[in-house]
Amino acid sequence: MNVPMKALSLSVIAAIAMMGCGKEEPPPPPPVQAPPPPLAVKIGSVAPLTGGIAHLGKDNENGARLAIDEANAAKPKLGGRDVKFELVSEDDQADPKVGNTVAQKLVDAKVAGIVGHLNSGTTIPASAIYNGAKLPMISGSATNPALTEQGFIGVFRVVGRDDQQGPAVANYLATNNKPKTVAVIDDATAYGEGLANEVEKTLKAAGIKVLPREKGTDKTVDWKAVLTKVKGKKPDAVFYGGMDATAGPLLKQARELKMTSVFSFGDGACTDKMAELAGAAAEGLICSQAGIPVQAAGKKFLDAYKAKFKVDPILYSPFTYDAANLLIAAMKKADSPDPAKYLPALAASDYNGASGNIKFDEKGDRKDAEMTIFTLKDGKITPLAIIKGGKSLTLDEYAALSAPAPAPAAAPAPAQPAAMGGMQGMAGMAAPAAPAAPAAAPAAPAPAK
């Protein structure tokens, strides 16, 4: 069979082509999976953001917000997954009923923890709602002892208690102003009445006469009837348990009635706002806070707060900043935002924050909480003494006591082997002794409720 060469070549080419057509192509590579979005972890913040003490509520919210923003900037992870913390802020209007409503709202929003509330009168009832939902909460300003006496394992505070603050300001009055008769007035809230009770108890124990209690409300702005009654009894000093929104008018009207008594207040009225509300009458007032003064907070916090909010912190924002950071630190330690998993780490906290070292006792109270006594001078609240461990310190003494010990001096390099080499110089230097604390002084104050 004579097949033409050309025809044979074409057949071979066709066969090869057919073989190529039957060849299987490799499957395409699987599509690249996009990383999962960050896990959203919600942290609640509750404070009065409207009404007469909205300035204090906003200050509290700002502290928590700053902590959240700084945490997110550090690209946190929990359980190997990227996390974004979200602040869910609510306004409780300093009203217990509204406080309970927003507390349940936060529970329904499935927040992982709560910073708040500001006032004791809202914090105490709301804490029962959080406890029922097994959600940890930390208040940066509620000082009524009843908050942590309920036996709730998830309730904490990072400020002192009124049974520490009341004796502090009362002792200061007794020691420095030596009144023989004191009038005590309160605003009938859990905070104001509770703090006034502690002040009265301490004054009576010191042998000072305390007049029958007078009362207003947390909305009272006309105090003239109460003050006229008090003036007739000629007290050497007056203590008012309440917030600055009502304390300012009370002090202004007292001076208009020509009352010359020394006026003193708790932390709720220990603000520069008193100069705005009472004018010149505010000069020389005595007040207390259940913690260190804002000026003594960590510089990193103070600078970051001013840079972010364009104002200086007012009162308890260093404490709400620490409260939010405590929740976040506990979640990181447990590697989980699940309250059941991070609560043990939170209870065992040993945290160095803007307000100093924080540890909790078995009730959820801050161990060894400081108290501060202030006066209002030239329109500004100015610290007089910080009480820590029963000792009264000036602001400078406290700063020196709180400063980290200097690092040991580096040892000089050994002498070169030549003459009589040897170790010359000392390997380290002893840290300077802390300044001696002045004799025990009056105790200091507490938070706004």
Q: What is the DSSP letter of 356?
A: E
Please give the full DSSP string across 178-246, using - where no structure is assigned: --SEEEEEE-SSHHHHHHHHHHHHHHHHTT-EEPPPEE--TT----HHHHHHHHTT--SEEEEES-HHH
Round to whole Å and give the CA distance between 282 and 288: 14
User: Do residues 160 and 389 touch, judged by C-beta distance below 8 A?
Assistant: no
Residue type, 387: I
pLDDT of residue 9: 56
Tokens (6 digits) for 368: 């060894």
- The length of the chain in residues reads 449
Round to whole Å and give the CA distance between 247 and 226: 13
Reduced DSSP (H G I as helix, E B as strand, rest coil) percent helix, strand, coil of the chain, to 5: 40, 20, 40
pLDDT of residue 1: 42
Tokens (6 digits) for 2: 């004579």
pLDDT of residue 396: 81
Who contacts 447 (Cβ-Cβ below 8 Å, separation ≥6)? 118, 120, 140, 141, 142, 143, 159, 191, 266, 267, 268, 289, 290, 291, 316
CA 440, 139, 267, 381 torsion: positive or negative? positive
pTM of the full structure: 0.78
The candidate with the shortest Cα–Cα distance to 118, out of 76, 152, 151, 90, is 90
The candidate with the shortest Cα–Cα distance to 109, out of 86, 76, 138, 127, is 86
User: Which backbone phi and psi does 373 adopt, to 5 degrees?
Assistant: -105, 135
Domains and CATH numbers, the chain: 39-159+296-368 (3.40.50.2300), 163-289+374-386 (3.40.50.2300)
- What is the mean pLDDT for each group of 10 consecutive residues in the chain (449 residues)? 50 52 68 80 97 94 98 95 97 97 98 96 97 97 95 96 93 94 96 96 97 96 97 97 96 97 95 95 95 91 97 95 98 97 98 95 95 94 87 80 58 40 29 34 39
10 Å CB burial of residue 188 (0-12, 13-18, 19+) is middle
Round to whole Å and give the CA distance between 174 and 186: 19
